[in-house]
Amino acid sequence: MLALIKMEFYQLVRNRLFYLMAGISIVFGALMSSGYIGDTNPFGVPMADGLSVFGGMVYDSTMWLIVIGAMSALMLGQSASDKTLALAVSAGHSRTSVYFCKALVFLLAVNIVMFFYPFAGLIVTGAAQGFDKGIIAEPFAQYLLRVTGMVFLANCAVFSVSILLMAVFQDAAKTTACAALAIILESFGMIFFLSRRMPPLWLPPYMARAAVFTPLNISQVILILTACLGFTALLLGAGYFVFRKREIK
């Protein structure tokens, strides 16, 4: 299994699309951060430091989910259609190992790219305005670690649909189109329910938004984490069921 993980990382670091996504995320994060200064955060307080801008950028990252979702699905679909999966299975690795190693590295990679965006904003704003002026009630490290951990799991719930579609189609174009459509529908669903003052905690894009709020009590944190893990397990489980039964192209 370790050999498979090394192979997946080797393919990742040689993939130009990964570097393109990372570069876009960093550049846009750095450029967009200045627009948050003076704007109100989700709690109605003006943002004036790196930590509050970080929270605001995470909260507003719905469109970023769609962009990175489409590009990462293309990257995943390409790896599924270039016979790498078939070669790994023919080399004696179990389908279980091949599938979950692919899923693990993909989810790590896409989360890294997603976090480049708000962390670039945090660094740029923090260097210019200060990192923590007390706008966020939680301590700096606690808020940063809590939001990062919860949003990581929320992103896994969002992007696991790409892994399911990769297992179903094993084709770059179909995986990309359907994954982008799925994330768009989830995002519009979130906007629809929010417009009716009904927080849709069952929708993965909203789980990331909910993680930004402070303070959150233990029951709220557990609810968000349970929803994230349940959604991820459902999609990865469905993808594994398909991958285990289907002929690999």
Nearest 5°: CA angle at 42, between 129 and 157? 105
- Residue with token string 């490290």: 141
Q: What confidence tens digit (pLDDT) does each residue in 26-79 have?
A: 999 999 998 898 888 777 778 889 999 999 999 998 889 999 999 999 888 887
Q: What confidence tens digit (pLDDT) does each residue in 163-209 have?
A: 999 999 888 889 999 999 999 999 889 989 888 888 887 888 898 88
Average of per-residue pLDDT values in the chain: 90
The residues, ordered by sequence, that sit 6+ positions from 120 with a Cβ below 8 Å of its Cβ are 25, 26, 27, 28, 29, 30, 33
Q: What is the pLDDT of residue 82?
A: 65
Whether residue 249 is predicted with pLDDT greater than 70 in this model: the reply is: no
Q: What confidence tens digit (pLDDT) does each residue in 77-125 have?
A: 887 766 777 778 888 888 999 999 999 999 999 999 999 999 999 999 9
Whether residue 245 is predicted with pLDDT greater than 80 in this model: the reply is: yes
- For residue 136, count other CB atoms closer than 10 A to its CB: 24
